Amino acid sequence: MLNKVILIGRLTRDPEMRFTSNGIPVTTFSLAVNRPFQNKQGEKETDFIDIVAWRQLGELCANYLHKGRMAAVEGRLEIQTYETQDGQKRKATRVVAQNVQFLSPRDAGSGSKSSSIAEELGSEVEIPGEEIPF
């Protein structure tokens, strides 16, 4: 079976890093990804996709990504089912990042050095290993 997602978009908010009870870092953020076509009114639509990054990759995302920055995320789609306090069943969809590339220049718009964080750290950061359930 194959479950692979590749997205390029802009962060809609600053990443939020927290730690599990075992001290493992986990970072969440959201990407705004434009659809490649227009709707009936001739307008481009945007999807807002939740991303989660674990361990070292999560730490790097929390330290170097910020709202408005462009990033490429490669990972797998995860759908969680849960029940609300009033008994309704809901689903939440997100992408578990396995590789993130930082595409925006570090000082975008400032006219200074335009190398990306990804160039500084290496073109991509991969975190292999076991998955951790919530």
For 89-127, give the secondary structure using H, E and C.
EEEEEEEEEEEEEECCECCCCCCCCCCEHHHHHCCCEEC
- Domains of the chain, CATH where assigned: 5-124 (2.40.50.140)
> Confidence class of residue 19 from pLDDT cuts 50, 70 and 90?
very high
For residue 105, report the phi and psi dihedrals to the nearest 5 degrees: -60, 150
Taken as a whole, the chain contains a residue count of 134
Q: What is the pTM of this model?
A: 0.74
> Confidence class of residue 106 from pLDDT cuts 50, 70 and 90?
low
Tell me: pLDDT of 29 over 70.
yes
